[in-house]
Structure 1
């Protein structure tokens, strides 16, 4: 009996302590900007709140001081089946240049052919959107975003929208990085890896976070932590290179700066991709397209590609995106990652105990007509024969929560109404999706201060750091007789691939090699369009990595005429042994402006990069290396980690 009394007293003390800590916790209030911009605020008993369902009372999900799990459960219990289905899709939407919401019939560019976000909200109950092209003035992106949130709060439950974006903060020549449009421009991520400074990566991510937050972007469809073990793969420019440990360090700093130790009102939620590593594509052909030949592991090195994700999991990433590829021979069925239960449930959910949002890569369900007789098939690799509704079922049963780049909620409704999928299973995904919105503070304050955008986006201090990243990432590969650094004002230079007005600030620009005492040329890593009629596929940097034919002869001819400094942009590992041998100096960049290249060549800044991937000496070596194994060519021209310094 005495033991029972002690236990009861103990429980009472715990309860009192919990009540006291609850009372002592300062109450939060709806931020002023939300009260200024919202049209659904209600005052009750001296308390002001956003009455999102317009019923005149404070529901649990509307209560800023209620525990998040209670808010999530209350919201999901009030959602209709149609609202649940809509929340599971994240299509791309256009953003008008002037910040208006209505569909612009004259718009061009990415997203122009898709329905406006407001139409998706009204007709499909959607509340997650991906943006591509945005206004050239970032402030107008914030205007569009606020107007969209004001429209969303008029829906039945007032669920706020979440806006996602691919990377926008790199000086890039590839299609995988969106136009910067005023945002700070850093080197591409292989350049950050070339510098190898964790603090710089965290600073980069903090700048991205602040600039995204200012315009309403709350989900980053990055970082990309695939390993570049197949040098021909078209997506290497978005990686941190081929070394798993280096990538693990980089992603840790990246998530710390962008998302923070936990997702909150000041976070940008990160969607880490592409689980379980998309680098080992056969011949480097990307599984965006039917030309791909499978994701292969000839070196039996599947686990090596998981190392960066294991580091990311320690930082609790908000979302994970699986890739398109089939993990050939690694699971009980050769089907694409998002369709693969062993990948999503057994590996991601159970082994790694991941309970965040899993969102598919874009376009796994629906074929796209690219022209009158050109179809881009859905990336339903291994299940091409399934009808779209069965593809949706298989993806959900595999353990995914959301469909990227798709807008087919009617298929989810069909599955539930026909008894093939339970509403309880939808609720599992809905709780993850809504929990993220609550964590980000969107239910309490979905708005941004439009007038502060110019003070935040592209600040001079941030731009200086971005410029330094472009400069310091440059990697000196050859410097014969200490050609570099050059002395400003002392050379007559012939240039190719550069803006003469920029170079003229450092040297006298002449029009022919014969007039010059030095040539400076900027080259891009070669690529050759794949054999396809898909216009999007034709823009991917597929194919061999070496210079060929007339292009190669013209370069070598110039190198024989005049001492030449060669700068090459490495979005993939170039094969250039003859050019390297004939140049006086060879330096690589990972996304850099002409000005930043000149700052390094003329000694105002120093190259600090070390190669984040090796440069093979021949295409024969590329073809003989193992797709899933890092730095394994027999005799690389430049090894992983190589990089000279100025004397």
Structure 2
């Protein structure tokens, strides 16, 4: 608690009584309903939807204290009941939320995963608490992606009843802008139905280091494809080709820029993954991947955690700090060269302190929730990290909820008041543009109807079928004819029965084997919070792997369909000759896979990245350059589309 920046919360009973008394004394012409957000009984400029947004902004900014403006620059976390850390659960801790709102913090990420009706109720409860604050500023509620298969703490959320689509890599495999825009429109409707107004997506990162665990949420390795599809994503979510409409969802395109170029694929959430290796030529490709999203006027941009080595801007080496602290990256390249005018939100926890337990955790002292990513500024005081980020161009700091250090930096003259006012206006403008000052509440019955509806899921299933890639089909094995006897490994027996296949207990008894496996990975950093949850390390199938043994056992007896979930570019050299038919999957249920195998649907996908031929080729490629391994087993764009 920070007493010096606490703001009064009004009780609902008092608010109702005051509103009633004022209404009784107002002339009839003034009695039209309005949201009396500051509880003074009259319609002030910022409460009047008939005024232009700039006039409403001017009126509200004049009423705000410095403390309130500074608090707008934080994007906190809505904690769950009985939980700790990152906020996963089924209901919010309302006391915690009220505490944050009392500090003036009113932008939050949600990681809840309840049913849609409950989700809408919970978000309405947050808006009710926000309405009771001194100025009644509504909450902006954001989310990481929650409509795909991959779920990783700190990167994506459980679906919670939302429609389930292929991974964005799968969208890249299809390559259809119209489909991505349609996806964005449908998912935005789901978000708004439950009271979420901001998507911390898309990832316009270029997937150039094949071992990188975050690549599954990108649009692949080709800058032109990433740019094109990320732009479609923004248009779909925001509702137009010219920026955000009131009914849309504000997108925050990330991570500016070079995140996908980390040696060995070690991720920037971790101290050991804080460096990206680039050169000016490859850096230009990573920048170009953002062009489509910026052209579509994404409401926000999120700078990356990592420190870009080997890069110059305007002939000068970039500072060796994370992009959230880099004025050349934000004010220079993003705002100056690229003319970006929206909100810049830092990635989470860049101003936190990273102690030894964060940098080098051990079995005895694992990292736990000592989460911080202040890369390149580890030795600065917390107050000075805030100052450096704000002066570099950060409008809002993600994953933090204590305004005191930033306020101290402002009062000490380390951050100009003009910078605070500029950031506050951008944060508030977004709330106005989303219509939150006029009505932040959602219809809970509508949420239950919209989220994960049968019609939306049918479109998602169609996309899942199209997104998969057929790499081999020797002797025309697929599609299988009806009534085939199959031996399964890694595939649901119920899904196979529903597909009309006959299950047998061993490959010897089968006509065909169907084996589904994951891309290999290792847990190289088990004591790090994120390292223990991410897929790191090798990509190659080896003889001793259980997945390889399953394929070999089946292929020795019967023609075998092998399906590999490609969250990273697997080395399939050992499997290629054993598989009669070979699929690369980018987010598919077993039912969808079997629809493809049995010919009820046809895959349309082409690889969104190359598949290397060996571990040596992976190790020798440049982490910043797309598709540059020696003698790839399959090239980007490979894929068989059956007639």
Give the TM-score normalised by structure 2: 0.90
* RMSD, matched Cα: 2.2
Aligned to 1:105: 82
Q: Kindly indicate whether the alpha-carbon contact (under 8 Å) linking 2:238 and 2:248 is maintained by their aligned counterparts in 1.
A: yes
More displaced 10-residue stretch of structure 1: 185-194 or 170-179: 170-179
SS at match of 1:47: coil
After TM superposition, give the deviation of residue 481 of structure 1 in Å.
0.1
Aligned match for 2:69, one of 41, 66, 84: 84
Q: How does 1:209-288 map to 2 (within 5 A)?
A: 209-261=188-240, 262-288=243-269
Q: Closer, same or farther in 2 for the Cα pair 1:300/1:195, shift >3 Å?
A: same
TM-superposed deviation, 1:46: 3.8
Contact 2:151 2:158 in 1 (8 A): no
Q: Which residue does the alignment assign to 2:314?
A: none
- Quick check: 1:381 aligned with 2:381? no
- Would the aligned equivalents of 1:225 and 1:277 in 2 still touch at CA under 8 Å? no
Matches within 5 A, 1:541-560: 541-551=535-545, 552-560=548-556
Query: Following the alignment from structure 2 to structure 1, what is the Cα–Cα distance between the partners of residues 274 and 83?
Result: 38
- From 426, 430, 435, the counterpart of 1:432: 426
Partner of 1:317: 298
Q: Does 2:596 match 1:619?
A: no
Gaps of 5+ in 1: 1-36, 96-103
Query: Which residue of structure 2 lines up, in the alignment, with residue 5 of structure 1?
Result: none
How many residue pairs get matched?
Answer: 601
Q: Does 1:599 align with 2:576?
A: no
Q: CA–CA distance in 2 between the matches of 1:265 and 1:227? A: 30
Moved more, 497-506 or 580-589: 497-506
Gaps (5+ residues) in structure 2? 1-15, 312-316
Q: Structure 1 pair 49/38, CA: closer, same or farther in 2 (3 Å)?
A: farther
- Using the TM superposition, give the Cα deviation of residue 108 of structure 1 relative to its aligned residue in structure 2, in angstroms: 9.4
Which residue number corresponds to residue 147 of structure 1? 125
Q: Residues of 1 paired with 2:287 and 2:112: CA distance?
A: 32
Give the Å deviation of 1:250.
0.6
Whether contact under 8 Å (1:299, 1:627) holds in the other structure is: no
Q: 1:226 touches 1:277 (CA, 8 Å); kept in 2?
A: yes
| Deviation per residue, 1:185-241 (Å, 9 max, x gap) | 110001011111111111111100111110000000001110111111111110000
Contact 2:539 2:569 in 1 (8 A): yes
Deviation at 1:507? 0.9
C-alpha distance in 1, partners of 2:423/2:101? 22
Alpha-carbon distance change, 465 to 38 in structure 1, aligned in 2, over 3 angstroms = farther
1:488 maps onto 2:490 in alignment = no
Matches within 5 A, 1:559-638: 559-638=555-634
Aligned partners of 1:547 and 1:575 also within 8 Å: yes
Which of 331, 334, 349 is the aligned partner of 1:345?
331
Aligned to 1:297: 278
1:324, distance to aligned residue in structure 2 (A):
0.4
Which position in structure 1 is the counterpart of 2:7?
none
Give 1:75's aligned residue.
Answer: 60
Which deviates more, 122-131 or 373-382? Answer: 373-382
1:616–1:636 contact (8 Å) kept in structure 2? yes
Q: Residues of 2 paired with 1:584 and 1:549: CA distance? A: 18
From the superposition, tell whether residues 213 and 238 of structure 1 become closer, same or farther in structure 2 (CA, over 3 Å). Answer: same
Partner of 1:162: 140
Q: 1:363 aligns with which of 341, 349, 357?
A: 349
Tell me, yes or no, if the aligned pair for 1:484 and 1:646 is still in contact at 8 Å.
no
Aligned to 1:14: none
1:193 equivalenced with 2:175 (yes/no):
no
Q: C-alpha separation between the residues in 1 aligned to 2:281 and 2:340?
A: 25
With over 3 angstroms needed to count, the CA separation of the structure-2 counterparts of 1:483 and 1:236, relative to structure 1, is: same
| Alignment of 1:172 onto 2:150 | yes
Of 399, 410, 414 in structure 2, the residue corresponding to residue 405 of structure 1 is: 399
Report SS of the residue matched to 1:160: coil
SS state at 1:550 partner: coil
Answer whether contact 1:39 1:150 (CA < 8 A) is retained.
no
Residue number among 475, 495, 499 corresponding to 2:492 in the alignment: 499
CA contact (8 A) 2:147 2:159 kept: yes
Q: CA contact under 8 A between 2:100 and 2:401: conserved in structure 1?
A: no
Distance, in Å, in 2 between the alignment partners of 1:109 and 1:160 is: 22
Alpha-carbon deviation of 1:333? 1.6
